Amino acid sequence: MNQGLQTYDYIVFVLYFILISSYGIWIYRKKKTSTANTKDFFLAEGQLTWWAIGASLIASNISAEQFIGMSGNGFRLGLAISVYEWLAAVSLVVVAIFFMPVYLKNRIYTMPQFLKTRYNETVAMIMAIFWLFLYIFVNLTSILYLGAIAINNLTGGTHFHLIMIGLAVFALFITLGGMKVIGYTDVFQVLILTVGGLITSYIALTVVSEQFGLGKDMIAGFKHLMQAAPDHFKMIFDKPGPGSTQKEIEDYASLPGIAMMVAGIWVAHLNYWGCNQYITQRALGADLKTARTGILFAAFLKLMMPILVVVPGIAAYVLYQNGGLQTQMMTNGVLNQDNAYSSVVGFLPVGLKGLSMAALTAAIVASLAGKANSISTIYSLDIYKKYINKEASDTKIVTTGRVIIILSLIIAIVINWKDTLGIGGKGGFEFIQKYTGYISPAIFPVFLLGFFWKRATSKAAITGIFLGVVLSIVFDKFLPGWMGNDTLLYTAYPTASGSFEIPYLIQMGWVFCFTTLAIILVSLLDVKGQRHENDITEDKGQFKLSNAHLAMVVLVLGVVIALYIKFW
């Protein structure tokens, strides 16, 4: 196995850079992107096709978080981590049927705009600020950090800071062209990351097959993974008992079995896919038919993602357990699960390593560009235009948006220079999920009740937002110390450091329940608020599906059910 990249690998990577840059410039000119029209720059209104919307959703979602973080969790947890992909497909179905009609019927362009329309300006402003902090200090920062770590490992491990700056500049180049350039270059990016990911998985399985004397056979390699690591092909973990090992406890804490399916995992998914500017922005400029088709297309793509990102991690685990990858899986002499994907890439022949690095870079850059654009959109339309310069022209707003894109990437670089947030010590994927989980159970009830319960008021929404964030902190940092480690509400489990923590998906479920209850109670008491709010326009037929869309929904749900039956 040759870990380093050779000349041909760099040639392949440079060709990718030239192709995507040239394609972006061509799209910019062909689609006549306006630098003075806010809806054109931020939303590409009416100009993204269904396949561009679906591909852009996936390109923005699949990043180092998945290739590095989820592959690392595949190494540690196995196929169970696919819950974040397969149930995401179900969540996209829900968003396509129930959420998107409400947004498009009311001409919603940003999530704070929805909150203003449904509640009031105060709710919208509070959430805009929350989202900006979350997007910059958790999402953008962690994507950049994990991406730089991965590519640094592939290229020899000595240029982390230079690579981080290069990724930021590459993303900046695409982002400054506006949403049309992002959307259509994402189609190309998805093609690259899919082909590169499939090749990596194929090579990983054939290497396993060869290592264990089964010939060069991908299917035989996969079957051997199932035989050698049966615990890595279990979707639902059992609750730990008195005799459980620390690993079993930590696995359950990450993915707490049936308990997480009650609320926690759905809060994470539906908030991410349905109430997230970063994601919904791709479809907000389209008509309902195009938006729904694009979102359901993205659901199909999500079903295949574990093949690209989880299988290589499981392959790395089996090889490591049998004496392979002992050096590649280490960071400073310590086993690091986030090295799983880059260690497997080392098996690729010259040239294909360059393609794999291009695929990884495509995923990273697409996510960085999408996140930076969403940061820019929220700041420019929901803060700058409303509170700082109400008379600003479209040209001024777009210019401000571009400045914010640059500043947000600079902030991410500064934070990551010495890993200020400790992303490297937590496991990248769980870092993002846990700290996003501080906000999700506070945000989602506000949207959910705003969609489907007319009596929810702004006073109740504000109460729910702040209560939800406070409860998230209390559950995570203080509750075991106050109430003990085993109660009717939860069980806190010992960590490797000796402290006790409630599984964060259990935390999210309870915080969501308490926040929803609080919003309902405050709304029922706020009679005045009920009379003066809710400007959401409804259409009784808006949730009806065409036959084609219904067929797509049935197929997605059928595949997910079959997968869970197989790997339960």
Q: Which two tokens stand for residue 404?
A: 């914010």
Q: Which two tokens stand for residue 171?
A: 């993303």
Mean pLDDT of 424-439: 70
**What proportion of the chain, given as a percentage, has pLDDT over 70?**
88
- The CATH number given to whatever domain includes residue 552 is 1.20.1730.10
Mean pLDDT of 372-391: 84
Q: Which two tokens stand for residue 557?
A: 């749900």
Q: Kindly tell me if the per-residue pLDDT of 31 is higher than 60.
A: no
**What proportion of the chain, given as a percentage, has pLDDT over 90?**
30
| pLDDT at residue 111, as a whole number | 82
Residue 457 lies in a domain: no
Q: Kindly tell me if the per-residue pLDDT of 35 is higher than 50.
A: no
Mean pLDDT of 241-265: 87
Residues 124-169 have pLDDT tens digits of 898 888 888 888 988 888 888 888 877 887 777 678 889 899 888 8
Q: Do 244 and 26 form a contact (C-beta atoms < 8 A)?
A: no
Q: Which of 252-261, 272-281, 496-505 shows the lowest mean pLDDT across its residues? A: 272-281
**Other CB atoms within 10 A of residue 389 CB:** 12
Q: Can you give the three-state secondary structure of 460-507, one letter per residue?
A: HHHHHHHHHHHHHHHHHHHHHHHHCCECCCCECEECCCCCEECCHHHH
The residue written with tokens 């990911």 in the block is 197
Q: Which of 383-387, 445-449, 493-497, 532-536 shows the lowest mean pLDDT across its residues? A: 532-536
Q: Do 358 and 12 form a contact (C-beta atoms < 8 A)?
A: yes
- Per-residue pLDDT band at 96 (split at 50, 70, 90): very high
Q: Do 330 and 153 form a contact (C-beta atoms < 8 A)?
A: no
**Among 48, 41, 31, 542, residue whose Cα is nearest residue 285:** 48
Phi-psi region of 544 (alpha: psi -120 to 50; beta: other; left: phi over 0): beta
Mean pLDDT of 506-515: 94
Residue 506 lies in a domain: no
Q: Which helix (H) or strand (E) holds 307?
A: helix 288-309
How far apart are the C-alpha atoms of 362 and 20, rounded to whole Å?
9
Structural domains in the chain (count): 1
- Per-residue pLDDT band at 531 (split at 50, 70, 90): low
How far apart are the C-alpha atoms of 195 and 178, rounded to whole Å?
26
**Cβ contacts of 493 within 8 Å, gap of 6 or more:** 240, 249, 250, 252, 253, 485, 500, 501, 502, 503
Residue 219 lies in a domain: yes
| pLDDT at residue 36, as a whole number | 47
Q: Which two tokens stand for residue 396?
A: 């001024």
Q: Does the predicted model carry a pTM greater than 0.85?
A: no
Q: Is 493 helix (H, G, I), strand (E, B) or coil?
A: strand
Mean pLDDT of 30-58: 63
Phi/psi at 389 (5° precision) = -140, 85
- Per-residue pLDDT band at 407 (split at 50, 70, 90): very high
Amino acid at 540: K
For the chain, counts of helices (H) and of strands (E): 30, 4
Q: Which of 200-204, 441-445, 536-540 shows the lowest mean pLDDT across its residues? A: 536-540
Residue 474 lies in a domain: no
Q: Kindly tell me if the per-residue pLDDT of 511 is higher than 90.
A: yes
Residue 487 lies in a domain: no
The parent domain of residue 355 ranges over 7-20+38-436+538-567
Phi/psi at 31 (5° precision) = -85, 0
Q: Kindly tell me if the per-residue pLDDT of 185 is higher than 70.
A: no
- Per-residue pLDDT band at 428 (split at 50, 70, 90): low
Residue 542 lies in a domain: yes
Q: Kindly tell me if the per-residue pLDDT of 34 is higher than 50.
A: no
Average pLDDT, the chain: 83
How far apart are the C-alpha atoms of 221 and 318, rounded to whole Å?
11
Residue 525 lies in a domain: no
Q: Kindly tell me if the per-residue pLDDT of 3 is higher than 60.
A: no
- Per-residue pLDDT band at 97 (split at 50, 70, 90): very high
Mean pLDDT of 369-378: 82
